[in-house]
Structure 1
Amino acid sequence: MSITALIFLGIAALAPLPLSLRRVPQWIAPIVAIIAVGVAAITAAASHKVTGFELGATAVLTIAAAAFGGIPLAPAAFRIARRQSDAGEQVAATGPLQGGRIIGILERAAVAGAIVAGWPEGMAIVLAVKGLARYPELREPHASEQFIIGTFASVLWAIAVGGIGRGLFT
């Protein structure tokens, strides 16, 4: 069963690839990633503790699925937030925070790595560094909203995927 969990973690890591093909609807990648992680979680729950090669593969695929599988989730959350604007105003399609995709990949990899390593305090360090680095930009209109939505989407994804990997270790 652990091999099945690893296969579905790999599928979650590759889920954003169809986004590069402009013919594929934007909602497909996040749905595929979420379903793949769900199946990985179910199969990981019924798996034995991994050892040897499976241990290394689990670490690599967990970090890859967290870092790359979460790419379409923040934009999907932004699209949902734009549809449900509180004051009836439209949130800009492109926000004031630049470099968010690369920062998100690094953030998800670091959070999942901290969970897989059994060091959840590492999440606090990652979020503190991100908050301090972005602090000067958060005064622009809608920047704090974009920061919070993107960070929550990324961190929740990384925690879920990192938990699957950690579950296979123990």
Structure 2
Amino acid sequence: MNVGEILLTVAVACLALGVSAGVGAPLTGWLLGRIARRTEPENEPGDQPEDAQALEPEPTAAEVLRGGLWIGILERFAITGCILVGYPAGIAVIVAIKGLGRFRSLDGHANVAERFLVGTLASYLWAALIGLGGLALFHLIG
């Protein structure tokens, strides 16, 4: 491999990591926004809660899933990196860390858990697609 090929390989890796980490955040946010608009409950003007406990507002997804933007950026970066260096077992470690780290936060928040799963799967899918695209470019280079 000559210097030109090495520089091109490094450029492809940096581009793939940047696109994965950077573009994945607005893409996932857009998807979650579309889902939220379709699943919002429709309340009639005269609807009243059936018990006093229903008066307490449920925490929003942003309150329960603090740090989600940065976690998503880092997980996409790591997943794409694992694919680019040929270490797919690292993806299992990322999935396990995220699942264990969020497990307690999601307990008792069904709507937040659904948002977490959709966002995580969309994020992982984006990272994997960009990683595979980077691998395809690596094969074209060398």
Q: Is TM (by shorter chain) over 0.5?
A: yes
* 8 Å contact from structure 1 (residues 137, 143) kept in 2: no
Structure 1: which 5+ runs fail to align?
1-49
Instruction: Name the CA shift for 1:93/1:100 in 2 (closer, same or farther; >3 Å).
Output: closer
- 1:52 is aligned with what amino acid? I
The equivalent of 1:30 in structure 2 is: none
The equivalent of 2:20 in structure 1 is: 66
Deviation at 1:96, TM superposition (A): 2.1
Deviation at 1:115, TM superposition (A): 0.6
Q: Could you say which structure has the higher helix fraction? A: 2
CA displacement 1:91-139 (0-9 Å, x = unmatched)? 9574521100000000000000011111112111111110001111011
Higher relative contact order (CA closer than 8 Å, sequence separation 6+): 2
Cα RMSD for the two superposed structures? 2.0
The equivalent of 2:124 in structure 1 is: 155
Instruction: Name the CA shift for 1:95/1:145 in 2 (closer, same or farther; >3 Å).
Output: farther
Tell me, in whole angstroms, the C-alpha distance in 2 between the residues paired with 1:82 and 1:137: 20
Structure 2: which 5+ runs fail to align?
43-57
Instruction: State the aligned residue count.
Output: 119
TM-score scaled by length of structure 1: 0.64
Report the structure number with the largest CA radius of gyration.
2
Query: Taking every aligned residue pair, what percent have the same amino acid on both sides?
Result: 37
Tell me, in whole angstroms, the C-alpha distance in 2 between the residues paired with 1:95 and 1:162: 31
Query: SS of 2:104's equivalent?
Result: helix
